């Protein structure tokens, strides 16, 4: 089959199913099957290349799954985060592009620490994306990733092995009880906690049907886990240490009030590339 025709058909099916960016997903699925980049797929289309029968059948199967709104990353088994290629699948939250900019605040804070071995902690690491980004981009730091979900921890442990950052340690424990041996010694704590209120159902089927509830919902007001992150971070951080929190676009004000009540200082809010409030940074 002609590759261009196969992609046109795939794009039409995905578009009819309401998939955002259907052409992009069709090209990424084809690239995954062919073992080439999306640019490589486009180059083959430009040269009027063909796709084998087995590959065409596999593409049709993948397109059917994507049209049912199964996340692209679950189909390919891969999610990209900053410079990392991570394994993901059912049971773990798929890292989002907006979180890449949130991680930058923690990376910058770690780099600014006047120590030969600053310490960073990711509370509720999921796939390990943030913790591994910190460890690989600040290689002189010691980084710990904390996760309580057994299913998510399996994926995280796999990613820690594949990235093989010697300064990164995964820890299976509830974040409320995490790392007492580091009390008062940590320089940076970051967390992308579950922050969706129980009454707010995510619009996207990929999120609503496939992301684990443990990674999505944060109680009646969405801030139950944020409260615990605040308490644990205050215990772990040294005086002057940095807390970085990802949150929903309407939560900056209530999170600021929560952090002020807990005694945090220099609280600041930061928007993502779409102009939405996405991160809050505070000092111990």
pLDDT of residue 59: 96
Phi, psi of 226 (to 5 degrees): -60, -40
CB half-sphere exposure, 38, CA atoms < 13 A? 7
pLDDT of residue 110: 98
Tell me: the pLDDT tens digits for 141-199? Answer: 999 999 999 999 999 999 999 999 999 999 999 999 999 999 999 999 999 998 777 76
Cβ-contact 50, 56 below 8 angstroms: no
Mean pLDDT of 1-14: 94
- Percent of the chain whose pLDDT exceeds 90: 84
pLDDT of residue 202: 72
Tell me: the pLDDT tens digits for 246-276? Answer: 998 889 999 999 999 999 999 999 999 889 8
Q: How far is CA 3 from the centre of its chain?
A: 32
Cβ-contact 118, 143 below 8 angstroms: no
List the one residue out of 95, 173, 78, 94 whose CA is nearest residue 133: 95
**Sheet containing 265-271: order of strands:** 168-172, 142-147, 119-123, 186-191, 237-246, 277-283, 265-271
- Which two structure tokens, joined as six digits, stand for 237? 């951080």
Phi, psi of 2 (to 5 degrees): -65, 130
Cβ-contact 119, 140 below 8 angstroms: no
pLDDT of residue 248: 87
Mean pLDDT of 109-133: 97
pLDDT of residue 32: 95
Tell me: the pLDDT tens digits for 230-248? Answer: 999 999 999 999 999 999 8
Query: Which three-class secondary structure state does DSSP give residue 52?
Result: coil
Tell me: the pLDDT tens digits for 185-224? Answer: 999 999 999 877 776 777 677 777 667 777 767 778 889 9
Q: Where is 144: in which H helix or E strand?
A: strand 142-147
pLDDT of residue 221: 83
């Amino acid at each position: 089959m002609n590759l261009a025709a196969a992609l046109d058909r795939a794009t039409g099916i995905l578009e009819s199913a309401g998939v955002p960016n259907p052409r992009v997903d069709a090209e990424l699925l084809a690239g995954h099957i062919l073992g080439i980049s999306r640019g490589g797929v486009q180059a083959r289309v430009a040269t009027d290349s063909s796709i084998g029968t087995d590959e065409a059948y596999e593409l049709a199967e993948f397109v059917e799954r994507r049209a049912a709104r199964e996340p692209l990353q679950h189909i390919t088994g891969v999610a990209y985060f900053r410079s990392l290629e991570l394994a993901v699948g059912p049971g773990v939250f798929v890292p989002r592009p907006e979180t890449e900019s949130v991680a930058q605040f923690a990376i910058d804070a770690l780099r600014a620490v006047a120590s030969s071995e600053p310490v960073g902690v990711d509370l509720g690491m999921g796939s390990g994306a943030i913790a591994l980004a910190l460890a690989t981009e600040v290689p002189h730091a010691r980084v710990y990733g904390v996760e309580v979900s057994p299913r998510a921890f399996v994926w995280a442990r796999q990613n820690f092995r594949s990235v093989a950052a010697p300064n990164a340690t995964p820890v299976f424990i509830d974040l409320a009880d995490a790392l007492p041996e580091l009390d008062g010694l940590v320089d940076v704590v970051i967390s992308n906690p579950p922050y969706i209120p129980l009454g707010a159902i995510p619009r996207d089927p990929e999120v609503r049907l496939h992301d684990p509830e443990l990674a999505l919902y944060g109680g009646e007001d969405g801030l139950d886990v944020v409260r615990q992150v605040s308490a644990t971070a205050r215990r772990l951080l040294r005086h002057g240490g940095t807390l970085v929190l990802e949150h929903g676009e309407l939560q900056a004000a209530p999170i600021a009030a929560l952090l002020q009540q807990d005694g945090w200082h220099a609280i600041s809010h930061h928007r993502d590339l779409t102009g939405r409030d996405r991160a809050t940074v505070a000092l111990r």
